[in-house]
């Protein structure tokens, strides 16, 4: 945690600082344990002032979850745009597994926790899933006039990844090592795209 | 709706009657619109008496959702145990698509609605997904000493089905007809099991 500071920040800077502190705290604990009191103390402001920037604890949590989703998407973006689709996929999946493994408590609390039924959280999840779907399709050179069943299958694969990774984390690895997990996620995408192309044929 | 009745029912019968009325109502509206006042009126009892059987509206909704999950699982169970794995799969998937299509509003409200973050609902969903996973594995003759990645892939396929079906319903079919959807769900399972076996090899 940074040293508490009373520095004058613009409203935008203050808001960003509070969200960044929340995201940092979220890396080690579930979202419902990201306490606004702790955040306000870390920022050197009063709890009341925090609620000047966020209408409620829930709103603050949604902002923190949104920032975490952005960070995860950034992580999945291949750093070298010149590598081909399959290598990009492998590097994105590696980044995903490493990210969720490092943020286990918060990942599980977000996708399976009490806040997961919140309309804003649902909208954030759907938006995140849609963006992952679009990136995968772009990586494979899918064109908008392609068969509609392919984007549907890729969207379903995002659900497959979410469920297998969650089950794997909750089951403490299930005796399946990280490389086998990566292999499963990669092969499953290729298999599902092939299945969708067969349906469209 | 049956005619209101004041017949003396045993506590178990009364509870079952209230849940059955809730399940009937759930077939046409989302879970949060299944009103305890309407249910009490249909059963010919007071709202107060309903709360004698269920501690809260939430508890009543969880009981109704549990009954709906049982009904859906019953629907997926092949009526003829002698048909082979693939025919069973096709008939179960047809039953699934028909069921969710007929119960669209309630299905979406359960898997994507405000109650989906409730711990009891999450436990119900996980239990339902686990039972579907076990039935699929049994249908394919999977043995407990088989590679652990196969049940994980089938569990992930359940997530794939949930996400593609939800996206399909929400997108009003996306120009993909019922037969193509069935084809996708069937091919995706076979493709994912093959991918899992390749990982285990």
Radius of gyration of chain B (CA): 19
DSSP A174: T
Q: What is the mean pLDDT of residues A28-49?
A: 91
Cα B68 from Cα B75, distance rounded (Å): 11
Torsion sign (Cα): B119, B67, B64, B34: positive
Interchain proximity B163–A158, CB inside 8 Å: yes
Cα A138 from Cα A134, distance rounded (Å): 6
Is pLDDT of A7 > 70? no
Interchain proximity B115–A114, CB inside 8 Å: no
Phi, psi (degrees; rounded to nearest 5) at B55: -65, -30
**Which of A115, A187, A198 is nearest residue B187 as measured by Cβ atoms?**
A198
Domains and CATH numbers, chain A: 11-58 (1.10.10.60), 69-200 (1.10.357.10)
Nearest CA to A66 out of A99, A32, A22, A29 is that of A22
| Contacting residues of B for A149, CB less than 8 Å apart | 176, 180, 184
Q: What is the mean pLDDT of residues A9-26?
A: 91
Cα A64 from Cα B31, distance rounded (Å): 29
Interchain proximity A187–B180, CB inside 8 Å: no
The parts of chain B modelled with pLDDT lower than 70 are 1-7, 81
A6 burial type by CB count under 10 A (0-12 exposed, 13-18 middle, 19+ buried) = exposed
pLDDT in tens, B156-174: 999 999 999 999 988 877 8
Q: How is A16-67 classified by DSSP, letter by letter?
A: HHHHHHHHHHHTTS-GGG--HHHHHHHHTS-HHHHHHHSSSHHHHHHHHHHH
Average pLDDT across chain A, whole number: 88
Please report the pLDDT score of residue B54 as a whole number: 94
- In chain A, which residue's Cα lies nearest the Cα of B164? A156
- In chain A, which residue's Cα lies nearest the Cα of B174? A148
| Contacting residues of B for A174, CB less than 8 Å apart | 148, 152
Interchain proximity A176–B149, CB inside 8 Å: yes
Cα A173 from Cα A184, distance rounded (Å): 13
Please report the pLDDT score of residue B29 as a whole number: 87
- From A103's Cα to the closest Cα of chain B, the distance in A is 20
- In chain B, which residue's Cα lies nearest the Cα of A152? B164
**ipTM of the complex model:** 0.84
**Interface size, chain A vs chain B, as Cβ–Cβ contacts under 8 Å:** 124
| Contacting residues of B for A159, CB less than 8 Å apart | 159-160, 162-164
pLDDT in tens, A138-184: 888 898 889 999 999 999 999 999 999 999 988 877 889 999 999 99
Helices (H), B77-177: 85-102, 104-112, 119-139, 149-170
Interchain proximity B199–A191, CB inside 8 Å: no
Q: What is the largest CA-CA distance in chain B?
A: 64
| Contacting residues of A for B122, CB less than 8 Å apart | 112, 116
Nearest CA to A160 out of B153, B113, B142 is that of B153
Burial call B37-56: b when 16+ CB within 10 Å, e when fewer: eebbbbbebeeeebeebbee
Radius of gyration of chain A (CA): 19
Interchain proximity A122–B115, CB inside 8 Å: no
Phi, psi (degrees; rounded to nearest 5) at B5: -140, 145
Please report the pLDDT score of residue B22 as a whole number: 94
Interchain proximity B156–A153, CB inside 8 Å: no
- From A180's Cα to the closest Cα of chain B, the distance in A is 6
Q: Which of A126, A146, A159 to mutate to test the interface with B (most CBs of B within 10 A)?
A: A159
Interchain proximity A117–B119, CB inside 8 Å: no
pLDDT in tens, A60-72: 999 999 999 998 8
Q: How far is CA B173 from CA A20, A158, B140, B189, in A?
A: 40, 19, 30, 21
Q: Are B117 and A114 in contact (CB under 8 A)?
A: yes
- From A58's Cα to the closest Cα of chain B, the distance in A is 14
Please report the pLDDT score of residue A4 as a whole number: 52
Interchain proximity A195–B187, CB inside 8 Å: yes
Q: How far is CA B10 from CA A40, B17, B18, B39, B49, in A?
A: 55, 10, 12, 18, 13
pLDDT in tens, A59-116: 999 999 999 999 888 888 777 767 777 888 888 899 889 888 888 888 888 887 777 7
| Contacting residues of A for B118, CB less than 8 Å apart | 114, 117
């Amino acid at each position: 945690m940074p040293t508490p500071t009373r520095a004058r920040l613009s409203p935008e800077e203050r808001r960003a600082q509070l969200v960044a502190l929340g995201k940092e705290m979220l890396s080690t604990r579930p979202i419902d344990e990201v306490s606004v009191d702790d955040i306000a103390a870390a920022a050197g402001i009063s709890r009341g002032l925090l609620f000047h920037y966020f209408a409620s604890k829930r709103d603050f949590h949604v902002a923190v979850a949104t920032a975490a989703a952005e960070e995860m998407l950034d992580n999945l973006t291949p750093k070298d745009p010149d590598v081909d689709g399959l290598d990009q996929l492998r590097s994105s999946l590696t980044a995903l597994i490493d990210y969720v493994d490092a943020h286990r408590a918060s990942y599980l609390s977000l996708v399976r926790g009490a806040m997961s039924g919140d309309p804003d959280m649902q909208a954030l999840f759907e938006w995140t899933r849609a963006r992952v779907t679009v990136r995968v399709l772009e990586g494979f050179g899918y064109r908008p006039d392609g068969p509609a069943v392919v984007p549907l299958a890729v969207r379903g694969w995002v659900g497959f990844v979410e469920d297998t990774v969650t089950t794997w984390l909750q089951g403490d690895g299930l005796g399946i090592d990280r490389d086998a997990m990566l292999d499963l996620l990669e092969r499953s995408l290729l298999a599902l795209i092939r299945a969708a192309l067969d349906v469209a044929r």
